[in-house]
Amino acid sequence: MANFQMIHSPISGIVVDDSACELDDLASCGGIQVTVPAGESWDALAERAVTSEWVGVEALSWIDGTVGDAVRINAAAHGQAVSDTVVSVRTWDRLTDAQKTFPLADCALGTDTSRFLEVLPDASDRFEILDVSFLFRQGDLSAPIRDADLAATLGIQMGARVPLGAVREAVRR
């Protein structure tokens, strides 16, 4: 298994070594839990998910930015959202000068928003996202397609499932 690249947090004086981040063994529910450094490309994660048969972000392919960026705004497209697969988000809280991990329930992920958009009086972000843990189902078929345009592009009925790679390629078009 390949590791994601080591990421150095942009927080002055703190280096986060994520070189040991590998896929966890099967989670107790039979899914795959994956922890990804916030600086990793979102599209690289989506591509890896498709090629590894991790279901849940295939329709979020080609979103620009990093994993941290996608989580910060709860990126959504084609009937899927980042919040569909997030388990927890590990941050550096600049207000308390301490690390804090938020379970999904405390992330306040909504349409184009999250608790990670909070700013300090000096207009800097309160939370620096360090890494994100996801829980993916395993499979070679997509989640049920919930977006009418994507279903039409794929030539299927809403709610149907297709190979993960087909969704990624359709989104690309």
Domains with residue ranges and CATH for the chain: 32-139 (3.30.465.10)
Handedness of CA 169, 163, 37, 130 (dihedral sign): positive
77-128 pLDDT tens trace: 888 999 999 999 999 999 999 999 999 999 999 988 999 999 999 999 999 9
Amino acid at residue number 97 = D
Cα 41 to Cα 134: distance, rounded to the nearest angstrom? 15
Cα 132 to Cα 88: distance, rounded to the nearest angstrom? 6
pLDDT at 17 over 90: no
Cα 40 to Cα 43: distance, rounded to the nearest angstrom? 9
pTM: 0.79
